[in-house]
A and B are shown apart, each in its own frame.
Chain A
Amino acid sequence: NAGVTQTPKFQVLKTGQSMTLQCAQDMNHEYMSWYRQDPGMGLRLIHYSVGAGITDQGEVPNGYNVSRSTTEDFPLRLLSAAPSQTSVYFCASSYSFRISYNEQFFGPGTRLTVL
């Protein structure tokens, strides 16, 4: 199994550009989520999904959209990039959202810089 994969690894955008960060998992996990990691702030939840066709907002959803058309894929869209969105983005998945303490598996991250 490849686990959780993310593309691209690095990306530089200009203010106002849009882009999609890709995330895929091959473990048939029910729950998927997106976090951003900024220095001194840990990881903050952007959006999450408890299954195909179901998404919900996390702690910092503004400026981001998600969709989940399949169990495997959970792309994150930046609608109009802003310098405040410069961060490292992590996608994660876990077996079931019904189990509150199950392990979350993280992808390797996408380092995004917005100029």
Chain B
Amino acid sequence: TQLLEQSPQFLSIQEGENLTVYCNSSSVFSSLQWYRQEPGEGPVLLVTVVTGGEVKKLKRLTFQFGDARKDSSLHITAAQPGDTGLYLCAGVNTGTASKLTFGTGTRLQVTL
């Protein structure tokens, strides 16, 4: 069974701080997705990274896929209370189509 470990598990910061969430595996994935989940709702896709070394930016969020396609990171600049939620990485393997292997999750709380 492939595992995706996320760190940290919990993160509580103040508005305006920067943070990085890590997603690590011993397995290679063909692509990796990041989702955000708010209480009482299902996960919502933020980004998909496909190429080793790829960096994608969505406003204050920067996503990076490791060169070896075994790890990824999410960096948030100047966090805001609206960033609060559970962040999940999910790996996709070539040949298993849409089957996702989810990470353990990072719960982020941003306070004023």
On A, residues with C-beta under 8 Å from B are: 4, 31, 33, 35, 40-45, 48, 50, 58-59, 90, 92, 94, 96-104, 106-109
CB–CB A104/B41 < 8 A: no
Chain-A contact segment, one of B12-20, B56-64, B66-74, B96-104: B96-104
CB–CB A100/B30 < 8 A: yes
Q: How many residues of B contact A (CB 8 A)?
A: 29
| Main secondary structure on B side of the interface with A | loop
Shortest Cβ distance from A92 into chain B, in angstroms? 7
Other-chain contact of B93, A59, A100, A104, A107 (Cβ < 8 Å):
A100
CB–CB B88/A43 < 8 A: yes
Other-chain contact of A108, B41, B48, B96, B105 (Cβ < 8 Å):
B41
Identify 18 new A-B residue pairs, CB closer than 8 A, beyond the known A48-B98, A98-B97, A99-B97: A42-B4, A42-B105, A44-B102, A45-B100, A50-B97, A92-B42, A94-B98, A97-B98, A99-B98, A100-B30, A100-B93, A100-B94, A100-B98, A101-B92, A104-B45, A104-B98, A106-B43, A108-B41
